[in-house]
Every structure is written in C-alpha cells, then in structure tokens.
C-alpha cells in the first residue's frame, strides 16, 4: 500500500523535474531588463581547451558586465540539427563569438578572439572594445 509520504515525495520530485526543464534557454538579465543583444558562443560537439576557454571568458564577461545593458549569453552547439541554420545565418566556419542586436538583427563576428584564448585579460579588453563599438553604432 502506498503511504502519504511516498505520494508527497513523488509529487515534489515531479514538480522539481517539471520546473527544472528548459532552464538553460531562459534569458538571464539583471533588473528584469529587456534583452536587446545576444552574445552567442558557437561550437562543435568536440572542443579543445582553447574553445572551452573562449566560452568561459565570454560567458563571464557578459554575466558580470553586460547583463544590465540588455545582453544575454547563449551557448550553441552548431552540430545539433536544430542549430544548423546558424551556420548560414552567421557564415560560421568554426567556433565563434557573435554579438547580435535583437531589434534590427545587426550582428558582428568577433573574429580576433582566437588571439586571446590563453589570456583572459586581453580577451576581455578586445571583447569589451568590440561590444562597446557595436552598441554605439
């Protein structure tokens, strides 16, 4: 016979699983600001240390400095079928960081990021300069 504790535990577990689904795709911004820009990190399934560094660097920069400016960070595996369209959308050949203005669909490939895969400070300097120019144009 099923007791009340088992039923309650099952209900709580179901609720936790249900509410936890899709969290990765939720937009994260400070002060409930509207998303105006997306910083994408595109990558294949197999990644090297430099690729992982790039993802960590751009994610940290966006989440610590640009959320209040209407940015969100989104990591995308371009080898997954549902993401294949990004290759054409952004002319992607390999792992890339793209910033996009959500309002007018203007975008920019930060193609010099590969020069800074092992230097977070220089990566931040380069990326901040590019983001600020992008926002102000």
Tens digits of residue pLDDT in 74-90:
999 999 999 999 999 99
Mean pLDDT of 40-66: 95
Is residue 26 a part of any domain in this protein? no
Q: For residue 83, what are the domain limits?
A: 31-136
CATH number at residue 57: 3.40.30.10
Helix 49-61 with 120-136: angle, nearest 10 deg: 50
Angstrom CA distances, 24 to 27, 28, 30, 33, 115, stand at: 8, 10, 16, 18, 29
Residue 106 neighbours by CB under 8 Å, 6+ apart: 100
Name, of 3-12, 26-35, 82-91, the range with top average pLDDT: 82-91
Tokens of 65: 């400095």
Tokens of 29: 């911004």
Does residue 19 register a pLDDT over 50? no
Is residue 121 a part of any domain in this protein? yes
Number of domains in the chain: 1
Tokens of 36: 């105006």
């Amino acid at each position: 016979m099923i007791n009340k504790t088992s039923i309650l535990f099952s209900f709580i577990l179901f609720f936790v699983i249900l509410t936890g689904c899709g969290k990765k795709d939720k937009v994260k911004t400070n002060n409930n600001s509207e998303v105006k820009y997306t910083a994408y990190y595109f990558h294949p399934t197999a990644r090297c240390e430099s690729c992982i560094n790039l993802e960590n660097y751009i994610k940290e920069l966006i989440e610590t400095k640009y959320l209040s400016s209407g940015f969100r960070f989104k990591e995308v595996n371009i080898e997954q079928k549902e993401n294949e369209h990004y290759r054409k959308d952004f002319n992607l050949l390999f792992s890339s960081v793209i910033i996009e203005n959500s309002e007018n669909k203007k975008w920019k490939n930060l193609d010099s990021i590969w020069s800074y895969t092992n230097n977070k400070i220089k990566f931040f300097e380069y990326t901040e300069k590019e983001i600020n120019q992008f926002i102000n144009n």
